[in-house]
Structure 1
Amino acid sequence: MPNLYFESNSLESVVRAKQTLYLAFFMATISLAQEQQALTIEELAATLPGVEAQDIFVSPVPGMYEVAVGPQVAYVSDDGRYFIQGDLYDLDSNQNLTEQRRSQARTQVIEDINPNSMIVFSPAPEEVKHTVTVFTDIDCGYCRQLHREMDQVNALGIAVRYVSYPRTGPDTDSWDKADRVWCAADRKTAFTEATLAGKVPEELCNTTPVASHYDFGHLAGVRGTPTILTDGGVQLGGYLPPQELFSQLEALVGQPQ
C-alpha cells in the first residue's frame, strides 16, 4: 500500500461533493426502476443525471455496468435497480479493476494539462528513468519536505512536474502565493524560494495557470497535497522519501495500469 503522507484540503473537496451528489442522483433514480429488464447503456444513461453514455461501460461482472465519472467509479445492475460503490478485484489476476479505471481517468487529466504551465525539476534528459506529476501547495509541509529532497529525487532519475493546487482554494493567501510564483520569469527559482524559505515574489500578473491547475486537480480526484501521479495515472502518494518513491516507480514497470 502506498505511504499516503499528504496534507488534506481544509475546505470540503469538490470531488467529495461531486461524489455525494452523484450518489444522491444514483440512489434517487435507481429506486424508480421497477422492471427487471436489462437496460442498454443509452437507456441507463438517461436515468442517471450527470452521466452520459460514454461514462458507462460493460463491467467484467455479468449483469453489471461500470459507471465512471472522472476518477469516481461505481457499478449499477443492468436493470438499473442496484448500485454498488467500492473496489472490484479480479482474484484470478490479483488486480484492482476499479483502480485501473481511476488510473485511466487520471492519465487523461495529466495529458490535458499544458506541460508549459508546469514547473519542472528534472535530471538531464538522457538520465530520466521516470516522470511524475505532483499537485503541490506552497504552504504544505509535506510538499516542502519533498522539494527539500529534490536533488536526491533527480539523482535517482526521477523528473518532477509540479502543478499548483492551493488547498484553501481561491482568494486565499496560498492561492495568491501560487499566482505570484507562476508569474515569475524564473519559476523554478521562485518556487524553491517560496516553498523552502517563504520568500514570495512581489510581482503579480493578470493571468496564471493556477485556476486551471486547481480544476484539473479536482478532475483527478486530488484530496490533499502532495499528490504524486505517474504518467499511467497511478497515485503513489502522499509524500514519499526519494528511495521509496523510486522503488514504487520501479515496481510499476511492466505492470498493467
Structure 2
Amino acid sequence: MIKTLKHLGLVALAGLSISAMAPMALAQGELLKRKSVEETILENLHKARPDINFGQPRPSMIKGLYQVQVPGGPILYVTPEGDKFIAGEVFGIDSTGFSKLEDPFVVEERKKALASLDGKSSINFKPKGKAKAVVYVFTDVDCGYCRKLHSQMHAYEEGGQQKPGYNDLGIEIRYLAYPRAGIPSPSADKLISAWCAKDKQSALTKLKVDESIPGATCDNPVAQQFQLGGQLGVNGTPALFLPDGKLMPGYLPPEDLARTLGI
C-alpha cells in the first residue's frame, strides 16, 4: 500500500512538473515569435510605402518614440507600435527660449561617414594657406543657391562692398554630388561629366555659370554620394556639413559660415 502511494505521488509530481513547464515552454515560444519594436516599425512602414528604403529605427530624443531616417527626406518619429509618426524638427524648451536639437548619435554617425570619405572622391576648393576648417557641401549644378555659394568661393562684390569668399576666410569647400532630380537625370549626367573631367574644379565652375562642358563617363562616385546624402538627411541643395557633424541646410554667406565655425 505504501509503495502504491509513493508511486502515485511520483506520478502526480511528474504530472505537476509537466503541467508547470508547459506554459513556460509556450511563453518562450511566444517570445521567440514576437517581433522586436524595430522590426514592427519597419514592417509597418514598408507595408504602407514599399517604394521607400527606410533607415534602421532607433530610440529617439523624445521618450517613447523611435526615429527613422527617410533617405532624401525627413526623420520620422514613430510610435513603438509602428502605427503613427510625426515628421519634423525637434526643439528643446528652456528658460532662454526654443532651440533646435540634433540627436548626438546622428551627428556622430555623420562625422564618421564623412571622415571615411576618400579626399579624392570630392571636388575640393582649398584656401591658399592652411585650411582653418573643412566643410562638405552636397551640391547640384542646376541649383540657384548652389551657384550663388560657388560664386563666393573667392572675393566678391555685394552692395558696393568687396567681401571675402569662403577660401579667403580659410574655409575649404569639399563638394559632394547630389543631383536633386535623381539618377538618371540630366543634372546627374552633368555632375558625372564634371567628376570625370581632367580638371574637375574648372569643369564644375563652368557648369555653375551655365556653361557647357564635354560629356564624359568614367568610374565615378556620383551615385554613391547621392545615396550617402539621402542617408545623412540631405533633402535639398546646397547642404553643408560642418566639422562637428552638424547639418546646415541651404546657402550660408561666407562670413556667416566663418562665424558659425568660430574662425
Please tell me whether the aligned partners of residues 75 and 88 of structure 2 are also in contact (alpha carbons under 8 angstroms).
Answer: no
1:134 & 1:176 partners in 2: Cα distance? 19
Partner of 1:56: 58
Partner of 1:146: 149
Greater C-alpha radius of gyration: 2
> Given the superposition, is the C-alpha separation of residues 59 and 242 from structure 1 closer, same or farther in structure 2, using an over 3 Å criterion?
closer
> Given the superposition, is the C-alpha separation of residues 99 and 57 from structure 1 closer, same or farther in structure 2, using an over 3 Å criterion?
closer
> Given the superposition, is the C-alpha separation of residues 66 and 171 from structure 1 closer, same or farther in structure 2, using an over 3 Å criterion?
closer
> Given the superposition, is the C-alpha separation of residues 88 and 225 from structure 1 closer, same or farther in structure 2, using an over 3 Å criterion?
closer
Please tell me whether the aligned partners of residues 181 and 191 of structure 1 are also in contact (alpha carbons under 8 angstroms).
Answer: yes
Please tell me whether the aligned partners of residues 73 and 102 of structure 1 are also in contact (alpha carbons under 8 angstroms).
Answer: no
Partner of 1:121: 125
Partner of 1:221: 233
> Given the superposition, is the C-alpha separation of residues 76 and 59 from structure 1 closer, same or farther in structure 2, using an over 3 Å criterion?
farther
1:146 & 1:98 partners in 2: Cα distance? 25
> Given the superposition, is the C-alpha separation of residues 181 and 247 from structure 1 closer, same or farther in structure 2, using an over 3 Å criterion?
same
Please tell me whether the aligned partners of residues 137 and 143 of structure 1 are also in contact (alpha carbons under 8 angstroms).
Answer: yes
Output the aligned Cα RMSD: 3.2
Partner of 1:76: 79
Q: How big is the shift at 1:103?
A: 3.0
Q: How many residues align?
A: 206
Q: Does 1:45 align with 2:49?
A: no
Give identity over the alignment, percent.
Answer: 33
1:145 & 1:223 partners in 2: Cα distance? 19
What one-letter code is carried by the residue in structure 2 that aligns with 1:193?
Answer: K
1:82 & 1:176 partners in 2: Cα distance? 39
Q: How big is the shift at 1:132?
A: 0.8
Taking structure 1 as the reference length, the TM-score comes to 0.67
Please tell me whether the aligned partners of residues 41 and 78 of structure 2 are also in contact (alpha carbons under 8 angstroms).
Answer: no
Q: How big is the shift at 1:85?
A: 4.6
What one-letter code is carried by the residue in structure 2 that aligns with 1:67?
Answer: Q
1:65-214 equivalent positions in 2, closer than 5 A: 65-69=65-69, 72-76=75-79, 83-92=85-94, 96-124=100-128, 126=130, 128-151=131-154, 152-202=165-215, 204-214=216-226
What one-letter code is carried by the residue in structure 2 that aligns with 1:56?
Answer: R
1:181-209 Cα offsets, whole Å, 9 max, x none, are 1111221121112222513134x233211
1:123 & 1:194 partners in 2: Cα distance? 21
Please tell me whether the aligned partners of residues 134 and 162 of structure 1 are also in contact (alpha carbons under 8 angstroms).
Answer: yes
Correspondence for 1:240 among 249, 252, 256: 252
SS in 1 for 2:229: helix
What one-letter code is carried by the residue in structure 2 that aligns with 1:66?
Answer: Y
1:49-90 Cα offsets, whole Å, 9 max, x none, are 2699x74237563xx24334477252535x778755544444
For structure 1, list consecutive stretches of 5 or more residues without a partner in the other structure: 1-41
What one-letter code is carried by the residue in structure 1 that aligns with 2:126?
Answer: S
Q: Bigger CA drift: 82-91 or 111-120?
A: 82-91
> Given the superposition, is the C-alpha separation of residues 146 and 76 from structure 1 closer, same or farther in structure 2, using an over 3 Å criterion?
same
2:86 & 2:186 partners in 1: Cα distance? 40
Partner of 2:243: 231
